[in-house]
C-alpha cells in the first residue's frame, strides 16, 4: 500500500519513526512485521505434509506439547524447531518455506510496516531482521521487505554441502536477541521494533523502542517504560490449527 493511500494514523506513525533518522533499525518479525506466528504455523504445516520423518514428527509433537505446558524453555524449543530438519536438503526446506509463506503469512503482512522498512532503507538506514523463527522462513519473508540475507539474525543451523545439520549457530530469543545484536551489529541500535516479552531485551538496547501490535503484558511493559506503542490498522487475531 503506498504511503499516500494509508490511513492518517498509519502515516503519522511512519513519519514519527522517520523523523528520528535511525542509522540502525532492528525488527522482530512474527507479530511485528506480520500478524501471525510463522514459526508455529510452519511447524504445524510441515508436520501435516510429512516434510520430516514420522518418528521426528511424533517426537516434536510431544515436545511442543511439553513446551506449551511450560516444561521446555522458549530458546530450547526454538532451536529444536530448526534442528528437526537435520539431514534434509537446504533447498527443499526453503522451497517448503516459500510455499507456506505465500499461502499463510504474506496476506497478514502489515502494509505500514512494509512501507516503513522501505522508507527507512530509502533514507539510508541499515535495517536488520531479528527473529527466533527458523532461518528459511525469515529469509523468505525478508525478500518481501528487501532485507538482504546478511542482515538476518534468525534461529539458524549450519548447512554443509547443501544438507542441513543439527549444529546450532544462534537462537535469537529473549536475551539471545540482544546477544546476537551485540555480536553482529554492536551496541549502536537507534530503533527497535517488537511485540512480545521475548523482544524486551532487544528494545532496551535501542534509543527509540517501538512496541508494535504488542501482547497485553508487553503493552503494559512498554507503557511503563514510556516506549511508543502502535497497533497496525490491519492487526487481527488469526490462529493456526493445533499441533
Map grid coordinates 540482544 to a residue.
178
Per the domain annotation, does 238 fall within a domain? no
Please report the pLDDT score of residue 236 as a whole number. 47
- What is the spatial order of strands in the sheet that 208-212 belongs to? 163-170, 152-160, 126-134, 24-27, 191-194, 208-212, 228-230
Per the domain annotation, does 97 fall within a domain? yes
Cα dihedral sign, 50-56-59-60 = negative
Please report the pLDDT score of residue 5 as a whole number. 75
Cα dihedral sign, 59-60-62-63 = positive
The CATH number linked to 55 is 3.40.50.1000
From residue 186, alpha-carbon distances to 25, 121, 177, 178 in Å are 12, 19, 12, 10
Q: Which residues contact 40 (CB under 8 A, 6 or more apart)?
A: 240, 243
Please report the pLDDT score of residue 55 as a whole number. 97
Alpha carbon 20 to its chain centroid, in Å, reads: 23
186 CB-contact burial (10 Å; exposed 0-12 / middle 13-18 / buried 19+): exposed
Per the domain annotation, does 239 fall within a domain? no
Per-residue pLDDT of the chain (243 residues; tens, 9 = 90+): 555 578 899 999 999 999 999 999 999 999 999 999 999 999 999 999 999 999 999 999 999 999 999 999 999 999 999 999 999 999 999 999 999 999 999 999 999 999 999 999 999 999 999 999 999 999 999 999 999 999 999 999 999 999 999 999 999 999 999 999 999 998 889 999 999 999 999 999 999 999 999 999 999 999 999 999 999 987 744 444 455
Residue numbers of the domain that contains 149: 3-230
Please report the pLDDT score of residue 233 as a whole number. 84
How many distinct structural domains can be found in the chain? Answer: 1
Map grid coordinates 508494535 to a residue.
212
Please report the pLDDT score of residue 61 as a whole number. 97
Per the domain annotation, does 236 fall within a domain? no
Per the domain annotation, does 24 fall within a domain? yes
The H-or-E segment that residue 131 falls in is strand 126-134
All cell numbers assigned to 112: 505500514
Compute the distance between CA of residue 124 and CA of residue 77 in angstroms, rounded to an integer.
36
Angle at 54 between CA 51 and CA 59, to 5 degrees: 105
Q: Give the bridge partners for 24, in sequence order.
A: 126
Amino acid at each position: 500500500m503506498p504511503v499516500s493511500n494509508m490511513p492518517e494514523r498509519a502515516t503519522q506513525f511512519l513519519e514519527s519513526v522517520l523523523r528520528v533518522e535511525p542509522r540502525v533499525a532492528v525488527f522482530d518479525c512474527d507479530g511485528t512485521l506480520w500478524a501471525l506466528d510463522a514459526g508455529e504455523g510452519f511447524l504445524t504445516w510441515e508436520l501435516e505434509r510429512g516434510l520430516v520423518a514420522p518418528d521426528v514428527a511424533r517426537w516434536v509433537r510431544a515436545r511442543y506439547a511439553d513446551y506449551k505446558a511450560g516444561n521446555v524453555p522458549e530458546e530450547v524449543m526454538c532451536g529444536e524447531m530448526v534442528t528437526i530438519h537435520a539431514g534434509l536438503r537446504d533447498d527443499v526446506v526453503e522451497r517448503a518455506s516459500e510455499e507456506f509463506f505465500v499461502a499463510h503469512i504474506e496476506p497478514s503482512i502489515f502494509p505500514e510496516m512494509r512501507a516503513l522498512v522501505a522508507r527507512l532503507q530509502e533514507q539510508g538506514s541499515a535495517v536488520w531482521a531479528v527473529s527466533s523463527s527458523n532461518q528459511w522462513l525469515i529469509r523468505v519473508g525478508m525478500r518481501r521487505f528487501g532485507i538482504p540475507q546478511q542482515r538476518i539474525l534468525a534461529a539458524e543451523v549450519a548447512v554443509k554441502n547443501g544438507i542441513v545439520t543439527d549444529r546450532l549457530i544462534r537462537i535469537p530469543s529473549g536475551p539471545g536477541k540482544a546477544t546476537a545484536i551485540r555480536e553482529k551489529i554492536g551496541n549502536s541500535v537507534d530503533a527497535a521494533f517488537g511485540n512480545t516479552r521475548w523482544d524486551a531485551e532487544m528494545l532496551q538496547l535501542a534509543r527509540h523502542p517501538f512496541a508494535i501490535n504488542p501482547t497485553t503484558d508487553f503493552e503494559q511493559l512498554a507503557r511503563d517504560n514510556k516506549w511508543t506503542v502502535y497497533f497496525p490498522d490491519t492487526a487481527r487475531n488469526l490462529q493456526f490449527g493445533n499441533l
